[in-house]
């Protein structure tokens, strides 16, 4: 909240005139990101004193900045915000959770041992999931229904014995677990943990990430002002319908 009055600059020059209307106790209504930083560039400036304040004309209007008359030069308190990716935080929480559940440290010394260890990691996690499902019959039935639904829709399929025996340096087994939404009783979402690590490597860390093509949120919100009615849509189970190349399908096995 800020206030700007004529007295803030009249103390410098007796006949100083503000090129903008004074305001009292105003708060920002719109935050402009760096992708529109050119809107804040000064087109011309006015200086009321050597040390300020200054007025700058921008594409958004006049802006006054700098010290004003009677303003204390004592630094005001500052707050710092540490921004952490929610994706990384969630992955770490899930990883720590299952590490606490199993206490099974694995040390790999030979590269040829990596594929079996990937299977063992996923199998151990599956045992933990089954232990949680055993006392909750309703949750177990829903979990089973989801897996069968994936198979019936073609999102997943059961491998033949000869396919299971095939080995590859891309072979990876994905652990999975169920997440319940307290706001939607009885609804379970199946999560495949691509952040699970074996010898410091996870499926996520081995993927080549391409450029982000999604629209920034402000751009999406601004589009809702273009017409009288805003329409949005969603693709149901979109990620399960992404076609995976045959050579890469062995990296997304699960038990």
Q: Which of 104, 164, 156 is nearest to 128 (CA)?
A: 104
Domain co-membership, 54 together with 98: no
- Give a yes or no: residue 141 inside a domain: yes
Domain co-membership, 136 together with 61: no
Domain co-membership, 101 together with 36: no
Total count of domains within the chain: 2
Domain co-membership, 29 together with 123: no
- Give a yes or no: residue 80 inside a domain: no
Domain co-membership, 60 together with 90: no
The dihedral over CA atoms of 120, 126, 130, 132, expressed in degrees to the nearest 10, equals 110
Distance from C-alpha of 116 to C-alpha of 111, rounded to nearest angstrom: 10
- For the full predicted model, state whether its pTM sits above 0.75: no
Q: Which of 148, 146, 166 is nearest to 158 (CA)?
A: 148
Domain co-membership, 136 together with 237: yes
Query: How far does Cα 253 stand from its chain's mean position?
Result: 25
Distance from C-alpha of 68 to C-alpha of 7, rounded to nearest angstrom: 9
Distance from C-alpha of 100 to C-alpha of 118, rounded to nearest angstrom: 18
Write phi, then psi, for 152 (nearest 5 degrees): -65, -30
- Give a yes or no: residue 28 inside a domain: yes
What's the confidence (pLDDT) of residue 46?
80
Domain co-membership, 103 together with 201: yes
Domain co-membership, 42 together with 132: no
Distance from C-alpha of 52 to C-alpha of 67, rounded to nearest angstrom: 5
pLDDT in tens, the chain (255 residues): 778 776 766 555 555 565 667 788 888 887 777 778 888 888 888 877 677 777 888 888 888 777 665 555 555 555 555 555 555 556 666 655 555 444 333 333 344 556 788 899 999 999 999 999 999 888 899 999 999 999 999 999 999 999 988 888 889 999 999 988 888 887 889 999 999 999 888 998 888 877 777 788 888 888 888 888 888 888 888 889 889 998 889 999 998
Domain co-membership, 11 together with 126: no
Domain co-membership, 240 together with 174: yes
DSSP 97: H
Domain co-membership, 247 together with 156: yes
What's the confidence (pLDDT) of residue 128?
92
Domain co-membership, 91 together with 173: yes
Distance from C-alpha of 99 to C-alpha of 186, rounded to nearest angstrom: 27
Asked if residue 177 lies in contact with residue 193, where contact means CB atoms within 8 angstroms, the answer is yes
3-state secondary structure string across 29-92: CCCCCHHHHHHHCCCEEEECCCCCCEEEEECCEEEEECCCCCCCCCCCCCCCCCCCCHHHHHHH
What's the confidence (pLDDT) of residue 70?
54
Print the domain residue range for 24.
Answer: 2-65
- Give a yes or no: residue 186 inside a domain: yes
């Amino acid at each position: 909240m800020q206030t700007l009055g004529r007295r803030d600059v009249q103390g410098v020059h007796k006949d100083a005139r503000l090129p903008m209307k004074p305001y009292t106790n105003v708060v920002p209504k719109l935050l402009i990101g760096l992708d529109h930083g050119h809107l804040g560039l000064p087109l011309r400036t006015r200086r009321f004193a050597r040390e300020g304040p200054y007025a700058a004309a921008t594409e958004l209007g006049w802006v006054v900045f700098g010290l004003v008359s009677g303003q204390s030069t004592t630094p005001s308190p500052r707050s710092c915000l540490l921004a952490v990716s929610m994706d990384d935080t969630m992955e770490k929480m899930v990883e720590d959770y299952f590490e606490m559940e199993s206490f099974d440290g694995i040390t790999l010394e030979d590269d040829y041992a990596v594929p079996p260890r990937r299977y063992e990691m996923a199998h151990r996690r599956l045992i933990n999931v089954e232990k949680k499902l055993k006392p909750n019959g309703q949750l177990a039935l829903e979990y089973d229904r989801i897996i069968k639904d994936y198979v019936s829709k073609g999102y997943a399929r059961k491998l033949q014995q000869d396919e299971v025996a095939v080995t590859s340096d891309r072979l990876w087994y994905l652990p999975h677990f169920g997440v319940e939404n307290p706001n939607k009783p009885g609804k379970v979402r199946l999560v495949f943990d691509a952040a699970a690590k074996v010898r410091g490597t996870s499926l996520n860390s081995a993927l080549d990430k391409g450029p982000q093509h999604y629209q920034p949120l402000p751009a999406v919100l601004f589009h809702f002002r273009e017409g009288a009615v805003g329409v949005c849509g969603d693709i149901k189970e979109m990620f399960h319908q992404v076609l995976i190349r045959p050579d890469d399908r062995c990296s997304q096995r699960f038990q």
